[in-house]
Amino acid sequence: MDFKQILESSYREILRRYIEESSEAALYQGQMFSRKSIKQQISPEEIISIHCKVLKDLYPDIREEILASFDFLIEFMMNYGLAYQEHQSLRDKQF
């Protein structure tokens, strides 16, 4: 299983737990996972895409407009992903 598959299944599990229990522990686990995701060069728009997929799985009756809104958010976030890639290549040149 590659990191993206691990990320997706872990994200699903931690988010489900957060929604059910509103637990700080799940938030903390999410933060730990986000550090790993950054190290593995997962872009912010990929995270949002996973988030949307998980919501669709957990709530199959989620309204279409909400799902459509995620397409917009993903497009909006792409420039943030590019800015972060630039950051990484800049850092790689420095060290």
Rounded least distance, CB 44 to a copy of itself, Å? 5
What is the phi-psi region of residue 92: left when phi exceeds 0, alpha when psi lies from -120 to 50, beta otherwise? alpha
Which C-beta is closer to a copy of itself: that of 6 or that of 58?
58
Binding residues for a copy of itself, rule: CB under 8 A, are 14-15, 18-19, 22, 26-27, 30-31, 33-35, 38, 44, 47-48, 51, 55, 58-59, 62-63, 65-66, 68-69, 71-73, 75-80, 83-84, 86-87, 90-91, 94
Which C-beta is closer to a copy of itself: that of 4 or that of 86?
86
DSSP single-letter state for residue 2: -
CB 44 within 8 A of CB 87: no
> Tokens 């917009």 correspond to what residue?
72
What is the C-alpha to C-alpha distance for residues 3 and 70, in angstroms, rounded to an integer? 23
Rounded least distance, CB 2 to a copy of itself, Å? 20
> Tokens 């872009």 correspond to what residue?
43
Rounded least distance, CB 9 to a copy of itself, Å? 15
